[in-house]
Amino acid sequence: MRKKLVGILTILVALGMLVSPLLKPVAAEDQKVLKIAMYSATGSLFMGAWNPSSAGFRDVYSTRAAGLAQDEGAYVWGIEGDYHPYRCTLVEGKENVKVPETALVFNTTTKKWQPDHAGEVAPTAATFKCQKIYFHDGHKLTVADVMYGYYWSWEWSSQDGDQDPYFDANEADWSAEAMQKLLGIEVKEEDDNYFVVTIYHTYTFPPYKKYQYWYFTPYASYPWQLIYAMSELVAESNRARFANQTEGVELFSFSESTEDIQQIDMLTPSHAKKVAEMLEKLKNEKPIPDVIKDFIYDEQDEIKEYDSIINFINTHNHMFISTGPYLIDVYKPENLYLRYVKFDKWVKPEFAEDMYNFEPYFDVVELYGIQNENTIILGVASGEYDVSWYSFPSFTFSGLSDEQKSNIDMYVNIGGFWDMVWNPVHDKDNPYVITVGDKKYFNPFAIREIRFAMEYLINRNYIIQNILQGSGGPMYTPWTSGDTVAIEKLQPVVDAFGIDAQGDEEYALQLIEQAMQKAARELANMGYELKKVNGKWYFNGEPVKIVGIGRQEDERKDEAYYIAEILRKAGFEVEVKIVDRRTANQIVYLSDPANYEWGYYTEGWVASGSVLFSISRILQYYTTAWFGPGFVGWKFTPENTYRATVEEVLKYLGNGDIQAAIDMLELEYYTTPDKLEPILDWTADDIGWLIYTSNYKNQTLDSEAKYWDLTKIGAAIGIYESFRVFTAETWEFFPVNKRIKFRVMDPAVGLGNSIVMKSAYLAEAPETPTQTETTTTQTTTTQTTTTTPSPTQTQPTTTQSPTETGGICGPAILVGLAVVPLLLRRFKK
């Protein structure tokens, strides 16, 4: 860690670009426009759709852009990495409380709110008082918006029969397990300005009680009428598909995107128009759905709100209606341009601490998609743009003149990292072959031993020194070096496998050769021919070919070529396709891996925070729960492919002796094979779900020692199976023109934390920040310039969500699910 701190300091000193301390503002009332540049793919600002399901806001660009128009909600994720009250305050947190008759859940069978768990003992009961604020169309958030969000997540993650039009398989993957933890929601009171709600659930987290109480929060990001109309539009599409009556019908889905089906997008004008038409229809036919009737605060106002939402859509040509300090006034996708204006009904958060209780300074924010990184950097230096919302490695600034450097402040981002994801697809009846149409292909990455060999074949030092040019560090698990506690805890796992930054090419090629020879023998028994001729592998007379996908926007294109080069040493033919981010997203995540369009992809991830107790890393990166390897189609589930168990991995590490492996991994709770007995047959999926939900298959996560042991075991299985191989963390910097300062600054991810950009102001601004804000920013920027900040040294900190703070995705958006999506999903870059 010390070496890394010195490394970043050296980079900044060499560039002559140490971040200046916070300036006390003076008057300059005529400068109220903030111009943000974001590195953009060809023809598109964003990689995916904006919608409130778990399939929406899957990329960092969408998350950041949406964040300016979204309120922080129930809480703000602080720069030190912890919950801080914002719109809600925790009135009371209790444990082992009997669920009352007034606490309801939505029963997806009866389609009614019922006290299904009344009389049961809830491990957790959290009571929140929340502030009611305005949506961008001008009407106030109510309890009905909150309860509809919970209803939606229950309804769309549970399937009632094979042809349930209100079911989304992706939603079930992401949120069904979490929703099962809810035992009841009790609305205690509501008036014009506040509401009080108690949530009863089974989630516990003994290592840090705050996670437990804030796991579910009662807030909403969108009006229920909007979600209602979007849902009915998708349900109509599903009914048409089930009835095979799709000719001439425009089809929509929350998660699917194919030639025939559009993933519904709140920014797309044609989608917004269809939703407006549905709103008009619902207003006339069934304005108040049965599932929300009992929670309506003022029925006439709720019906009037249909018109205000329709008017907003007609005026702004999109349907992104949220509660943030800015609303999206103009969106021109063809010009890669988005314009925000300050929302005049936004009010400061009543329950926020002083540090986060500020009003955004700028009246207008303009977001420009720029397709050349030099244009962004030079534009920020010249003042054409104020801020880059894309971070760059240090060497991209080396060509600037001293004068240009003097105009820029640099804010560090150590939350990004790279990995290689392999496509392990194969036929159900053949562990080596995938059939596409009438063509059969041999897939090397269907073989665990070959994926595992890549842990050693990849020279991480080469990537850092030659591709990142020193602006990064080696990575072996999905934790960056800023997560100091996790890195220390997980080092025995890395050591147990003998992996290091230099790699071991000879050993890796030996592993691949052995695996290929074994496959050749087994395929011969099936009537196929796999053989090596003059150092090159052939399957049924044709070269074994791997297609690699690299990204044209950054240095991952060079990584893609490097991976191709080392794979050729193993005797494979490799074709590299360099594409933009939107194309890569469509190929890798939104298309069925069974199409076999790709063999490997240079993934990149960006966090919007850091966390000591991450509950989602194992689940996100080593299992099929969310990215397995993509969102749709074939996944590496135990039903589709062989999966390693805890017992298999520990016996591998201990040469058959589980106790030796326990000692090697330095386990603190599972100290004997007998203690491990209940989980020896578990896969990484099981381990991930236990960490994520705290109660799973009669096992409970009830101590910090058990948390770290399970994390170590999950990481060990992850390395052994190597569906993903982590290569490097990136040390990058956000360039900001010196005239722009920030009231708060995240020491780990810089401008990646959603609250940071909202805190931007001009150095000559008329309002002086509070002493708390000044001190915080000065401390952070000083730390950033002299060391690499370690966000986990002071407080348990956050990822994603399914996001480490930032734009809230999926169930978090709709039901205020705090930890599950928020702690933490990392976003695709």
Q: What is the reported pLDDT for 21? A: 33
- pLDDT-derived band at 181 (thresholds 50, 70, 90) equals very high
109-143 pLDDT, tens digit each: 999 999 999 999 999 999 999 999 999 999 999 99
CB-based contact 296:288 (threshold 8 Å): yes
Between helices 704-721 and 448-457, what is the axis angle to 10°? Answer: 100
The DSSP bridge pattern shows strands 827-828 and 740-742 to be: unpaired
544-580 pLDDT, tens digit each: 999 999 998 889 999 999 999 999 999 999 999 999 8
Q: What is the reported pLDDT for 234? A: 98
DSSP-derived secondary structure for 485-500: HHHHHHHHHHHHHT--
How big is the chain, counted in residues? 829
- Mean pLDDT calculated for residue range 74-98: 93
- Mean pLDDT calculated for residue range 379-402: 94
- E strand or H helix that includes residue 699: strand 699-700
Q: Which pair of tokens denotes residue 426?
A: 């194969």
483 phi-psi bin (left φ>0, alpha ψ -120 to 50, beta other) = beta
- Mean pLDDT calculated for residue range 346-362: 97
**Can you give the pTM of this predicted structure?**
0.78
Percent of the chain surpassing pLDDT 70: 88
- Mean pLDDT calculated for residue range 727-739: 95
- pLDDT-derived band at 59 (thresholds 50, 70, 90) equals confident
30-50 pLDDT, tens digit each: 659 999 999 886 668 888 899
CATH number of 413-726: 3.10.105.10
Beta bridge partners of 433: 442
Cis peptide bond prior to 223, omega within 30° of 0: no
- Mean pLDDT calculated for residue range 731-749: 93
Q: What is the mean pLDDT of the chain?
A: 88
Domain layout of the chain by residue ranges: 31-354, 413-726
- Residue of higher predicted confidence among 341 and 59: 341
Buried b (16+ CB within 10 A) or exposed e, 727-740: bbbbbbbbbbbbbb
Buried b (16+ CB within 10 A) or exposed e, 563-600: bbebbeebbbbbebbbbbbbbbbbbbbbbebbebbbbb
- Mean pLDDT calculated for residue range 619-629: 90
